[in-house]
Structure 1
């Protein structure tokens, strides 16, 4: 008699936790952007306003892309947790570059960068915990 291990619960756990973290991160980045705007920080970039709800949408999209990366690394990487953390920390650092060189006020740039770091601080640990070392 042979037994096979079904990994459906593990991938389900990864996906559910990742989607939940994406939702929390989306709310958090939107709240930070709204609070910054209420405190007087401009959300204008190159003369065009960034809609506050745009923070939620982009956070969700890029968090879900990160979740896709996690699923691929879970399947193909020898050490998916380590690989995921390295890749996502590098991508988070790279995501700061466009904000740093944007045509926007320094306070706007700082607020944009802060939202990237908040999203990463929420999503990366949650997803990483669901990956084997």
Structure 2
């Protein structure tokens, strides 16, 4: 009995991993844009409803800041997912656990910087909304 080498198996595996990484980036970028639009819109609504987003020094978060920071940190998540897709034994599980931990850590500044209760609660909610958009999108593109 002899065993033969099948180059098509090796090639298709490499191609599917490369395609998977492109899919993570493409879907992650789209989810990041959606999250930025949603969080900015919700921040504008909250601001119109009277939430100040001013810290104890009186500095207020500009509306564009919500867009920029949501995009930046969502893209960090996309990069993390892409790296884990390559390196982790169980990329989806590792990514979700890491993303949830990082989302909870993102609440800390909202609680300690000196925002009033309404601002802090709204900011925590906005972080959570962004994560609820980006994390499942990326997780669905990763293997177990």
The answer to whether TM tops 0.5 is yes
**In the alignment, which residue of structure 2 is the partner of 1:54?**
65
Could you state the TM-score of these two structures normalised by the residue count of structure 2? 0.89
Could you state the TM-score of these two structures normalised by the residue count of structure 1? 0.97
Asked if structure 2 preserves the Cα contact closer than 8 Å seen for 1:102 and 1:109, the reply is: no
Q: Deviations over 1:86-124 (max 9, x none)?
A: 000000011111101121111011111111000000000
Q: Deviations over 1:15-65 (max 9, x none)?
A: 110000000000011011100000011121231111011001000000000
Can you give the 5+ residue segments of structure 1 that lack an aligned partner in the other structure?
none
Moved over 6 A (4+): none
**In the alignment, which residue of structure 2 is the partner of 1:63?**
74
> Displacement of 1:11 after TM fit?
1.1
**Residues of 2 paired with 1:88 and 1:110: CA distance?**
20
**Residues of 1 paired with 2:115 and 2:127: CA distance?**
16
- 1:81-96 aligned at under 5 Å gives the runs 81-96=92-107
- Residue 113 of structure 2 aligns to a residue whose secondary structure is coil
- Residue 46 of structure 2 aligns to a residue whose secondary structure is helix
> Displacement of 1:8 after TM fit?
2.4
> Displacement of 1:2 after TM fit?
1.4
Can you give the 5+ residue segments of structure 2 that lack an aligned partner in the other structure?
1-5
Give the length in aligned residue pairs: 133
**Residues of 2 paired with 1:9 and 1:18: CA distance?**
14
**In the alignment, which residue of structure 2 is the partner of 1:2?**
7
**Residues of 2 paired with 1:9 and 1:78: CA distance?**
18
**Residues of 1 paired with 2:7 and 2:117: CA distance?**
63
> What is the root-mean-square deviation in Å for CA atoms of aligned residues?
0.9
Q: Deviations over 1:61-80 (max 9, x none)?
A: 00000011101111110000
